[in-house]
């Protein structure tokens, strides 16, 4: 299993898509709501050329912007 952190925000359809695709496996990831966590928001903007694009998922230290849910699921289940 990889270290997975998901940066998201409420109302984001792409975040909802990812969450649904991950199902119960999604609970294995660390999650940060960028609307409630200023450091998370700044990180997301930093890795996305100043844009607050979510979901941004960090897998083993490498950021992925709006990744394929299969990639994230694979990282979570090994």
pLDDT of residue 25: 95
> CA-to-CA distance for 9 and 53, rounded, in angstroms?
10
Helix, strand, coil shares of the chain, percent, nearest 5, are 45, 20, 35
Per-domain residue ranges of the chain: 1-32
Tens digit of pLDDT per residue, the chain (78 long)?
689 999 999 999 999 999 999 999 999 999 999 999 999 999 999 999 999 999 999 999 999 999 999 999 999 998
> CA-to-CA distance for 62 and 75, rounded, in angstroms?
12
pTM of the model: 0.95
pLDDT of residue 78: 81
């Amino acid at each position: 299993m990889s270290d997975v952190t998901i940066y998201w925000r409420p109302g984001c359809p792409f975040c909802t898509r990812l969450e649904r695709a991950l199902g119960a496996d999604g609970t294995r990831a660390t999650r940060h709501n960028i609307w409630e966590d200023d450091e998370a928001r700044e990180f997301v903007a930093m890795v996305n050329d100043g844009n607050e694009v979510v979901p941004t998922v960090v897998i083993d230290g490498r950021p992925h912007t709006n990744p394929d849910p299969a990639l994230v699921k694979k990282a979570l289940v090994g």
